[in-house]
Amino acid sequence: MHYWLMKSEPEEASIDDLAAAKNKTLPWTGVRNYQARNFMRDQMQVGDGVLFYHSSCEVPGVAGIARVASTAYPDPTQFDPDSVYYDAKSKQEEPRWMLVDVSFVRKTPLITLPMLRADPRLAEMRVLAKGNRLSITPVSDDEWRVITTDLAVEPAKASKKK
């Protein structure tokens, strides 16, 4: 099993949108970076854990936990001329862009970028690297554990752990 951090602008798809979606599952459309596409196409597997990260918003951060719910398949937005993600060079018989479906597991208290930076156990996390702009990044087993067990709990429970 692998773990991933997947960024989405909340106006486009938020953790609340995922929780409210039919079957609590959404397609992760619009990825237009080859490295992020390759992660989905070549490495993601059904059941992999996802840190659902709200980006390009007032307070960015991890907003919930999700799971990869499908293997990669062509992103239909690349073929739609009315979509902001349209790619005129992409062909049905040779799609350039892939997506995976993501399913809701649970919301978390917002784990902000400063909170992630403050934990020395997360110092090597790709999302914290200077200049990182990838919308999908791998997360190590240890990083996943820190975020999902230490940081992603209700504040009252977190204070009891210390």
Domain residue ranges in the chain = 3-161
Per-residue pLDDT, averaged over 31-57, amounts to 97
Nearest to 44 by CA among 98, 91, 92: 98
Q: What's residue 128's pLDDT?
A: 93
% of the chain beyond a pLDDT of 90 = 88
pLDDT above 80: residue 156: no
Q: Does domain 3-161 have CATH number 3.40.30.10?
A: no
CA distance 132 to 114: 15
pLDDT above 90: residue 131: no
pTM score of the predicted model: 0.91
